[in-house]
Amino acid sequence: REAPVPKMWVPCLLRRVVLTVPLVFVVALLLTEPVRSDPEVGTAIPAESRPCVDCHAFEFMQRALQDLKKTAYNLDTRTETLLLQVEKRNLCDCVTANLLN
How far, rounded to the nearest angstrom, does the alpha carbon of residue 39 sit from its chain's CA centroid?
Answer: 23
pLDDT tens column, 33-91: 766 666 565 666 666 666 676 778 888 889 999 999 999 999 999 999 999 998 888 88
Q: Is the pLDDT of residue 1 over 60?
A: no
If pLDDT is split at 50, 70 and 90, which confidence band does 24 have? confident
DSSP, collapsed to helix, strand or coil, labels residue 86 as helix
DSSP 8-74: HHHHHHHHHHHHHHHHHHHHHHHHSPPP-PPPPTT-PPPGGGSPPHHHHHHHHHHHHHHHHHHHHHH
Top-confidence residue, 4 or 85: 85
pLDDT-derived band at 14, boundaries 50, 70, 90: confident
